[in-house]
């Protein structure tokens, strides 16, 4: 059973556009929600993370929106650039320090 559901599986965006990736979860014991960026041949790299007591967190062009009541969170990439083309994973951690990852979104930004 997938604990964290991520969509879409793939996304194509024009340069300068907004990329939006969504995740949903069921387990209310999750208390930390990171997003990772992964380039081919590399390990995932932490992009941005949020705790459930905050509804939004912004770091540069990357924003996490968190809706605790709906158990959903999303990553917004503003002014998307070709260099942002990568696979993005959302994740959630429970109070037992176990991590659950979404299935990933392959983002392609077209010049």
If one asks whether residue 57 binds another protein (CB under 8 A), the answer comes out as no
- Contact criterion met (CB below 8 Å) for 107 and 14: no
If one asks whether residue 96 binds another protein (CB under 8 A), the answer comes out as yes
If one asks whether residue 44 binds another protein (CB under 8 A), the answer comes out as yes
- Contact criterion met (CB below 8 Å) for 93 and 31: yes
If one asks whether residue 7 binds another protein (CB under 8 A), the answer comes out as no
Report the residue from 12, 45, 54, 110 that binds another protein according to the rule CB under 8 A: 45
Q: Give dist(CA 18, CA 16) in Å, integer.
A: 7
Report the residue from 73, 104, 105, 107 that binds another protein according to the rule CB under 8 A: 104
Residue 21 dihedral angles phi and psi, to the nearest 5°: -125, 135
Closest by Cα among 1, 3, 26 to 101: 3
If one asks whether residue 42 binds another protein (CB under 8 A), the answer comes out as yes
Q: Give dist(CA 28, CA 57) in Å, integer.
A: 20
If one asks whether residue 69 binds another protein (CB under 8 A), the answer comes out as no
If one asks whether residue 86 binds another protein (CB under 8 A), the answer comes out as no
Q: Which residues bind another protein (CB under 8 A)?
A: 32, 41-46, 49, 89, 91, 93, 96-104
């Amino acid at each position: 059973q997938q604990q964290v559901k991520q969509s879409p599986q793939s996304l194509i965006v024009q340069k300068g556009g907004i990329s939006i990736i969504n995740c949903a979860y069921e387990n209310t014991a999750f208390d930390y929600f990171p997003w990772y960026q992964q380039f081919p041949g590399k390990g995932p790299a932490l992009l941005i993370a949020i705790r459930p007591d905050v509804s939004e967190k912004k770091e540069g062009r990357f924003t996490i929106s968190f809706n605790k009541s709906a158990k959903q969170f999303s990553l917004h990439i503003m002014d998307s650039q070709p260099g942002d083309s990568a696979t993005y994973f959302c994740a959630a951690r429970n109070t037992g320090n176990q991590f659950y990852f979404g299935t990933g979104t392959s983002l392609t930004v077209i010049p």
